[in-house]
Structure 1
């Protein structure tokens, strides 16, 4: 189903599905039991645009810590549960806005039912998550290996278990580290599943490889109108996940806001430290709430022409640079003044 056709699900103060804006998620990498460290990381994630945060709950102490964490943050909190159904129940009782479980590793049906009944009592959604790495042996044998079809069948089986218990406040997640398998799985499940889909490429890798795999996979899936909330899974600082997710959505036209920086590749005409300048500009504009395009060009020969589609830009020369608006040169300044000149223009921006 397309995004606008999926059911609406409320997670704290955020609604996903039914065509609502795609929510960006991340997961803390602090010990959840360490309330101060976890809260500090969540507040930093909020500041860069995280909409929903998930915390691992491996112990009862972690489940109980959720209550205090919730008091100090402003975005919905999801509890990530594996194996112990009692932790899921405790997480709900301590204020989790959603829980993430794989019914296949929670235990027998009576334990799954206990979790479902508690979620029903508190009115919070359950995210049913299935990863390719945990696909059941019978499905691996049925399909001759780990396949998109197997992942989808596994997920729908888990959904039916909870539906049969009389609960439909669900979000579904199917993930694989194989990008094309993940794409195919989402195409298959979107035609059969009325619930919002949490989309991501799991175990995608480091900042470099993870960003590339996530951009390709999420780009294809989201462009096909599939997906209601996303996480870019990176082996790195969770703040990087939010930056990447925002840029993916902005690139696809699915989210507005924030300055887009475009810059030319370096070449033999470049007479300034373009790489350093472009990185400085990108960092500088991160906290400026404008929805415009900024160009950073390496030479004054082609700079104005290359920057004409940007709202504003700078181009470097030998010891000097140009300030450009809509392809027109408006000011020439010393090279060392380029960055400050651009920032001053942005802080006083008028359409």
Structure 2
């Protein structure tokens, strides 16, 4: 796998990882549930403004604006992702944090990547060979080492709530994959806006008070970068890599978070940090060096996404096109059987007889 395919997922992990230490600077002034709501609102509002600017520029340009919509048949997948990932997940996490230590919570959050992969492989039949599984294991072990504190991992009702939150986010990741052919910024914006309104409303009804304008503005900005742009890139990665591989790369986020924390609060990292970094680097390397190719058949398919004309996109247009730029429109794929290296992207979601 070329590193360029992994870049969106790793950049998403970097942005999300950076949001954690930045949010730590804010959490003393905002209740946890309200902060979660404001971060999501920053994501939704920021991406909404970007979408409006993008549509305005298209209208001013030589081409007409592309319609922003999610096909009706895919709305249940998106609404399910919002409910599980934007409402239930954060609510369970905040409840769990009231009954669980920070160290234990950090360890348990590594379960999300595992559950994401298990659902992708077991329920949605996404292909994974031995190398991908080993890479996933290495990344998860790195996350466990990174958050490990002796005596920090304890079993409690709060732990069950945090595992429940991880399960919700794992379901969210897999449901989002089902709508990943649509505009990534629109998907991330809708998720951020609806989840932000829900969490903020719950926090305010629970007695939380809005923070100062400076803290409010900072929360929205952190949410825009750490949640909005990060989720947009995450959806792009789902489109090109599939759920399990994207989830594995995204599991590197804690490493970026710790590295940025060391910049904000200078300190020499201990041996566990370097061991975790080595394991995560090994996991990413195993994924990047993946080579998966065999004869496979594409069933007829109609969808819309940004594309250039390659061996999978050979169709005519009802509009002028210079054959140079990538473009977005509804198009049809006819049945095709061939063999080449590929990943479980939006065009390669076929069953496999053998595990590799």
* TM score, norm. by length of structure 1: 0.24
Structure having the larger proportion of residues in strand = 1
Larger radius of gyration: 1
The one of the two structures with greater contact order (alpha-carbon pairs below 8 A, sep at least 6) is 2
> What is the TM-score normalised by the length of structure 2?
0.24
Larger helix proportion, structure 1 or 2?
A: 2
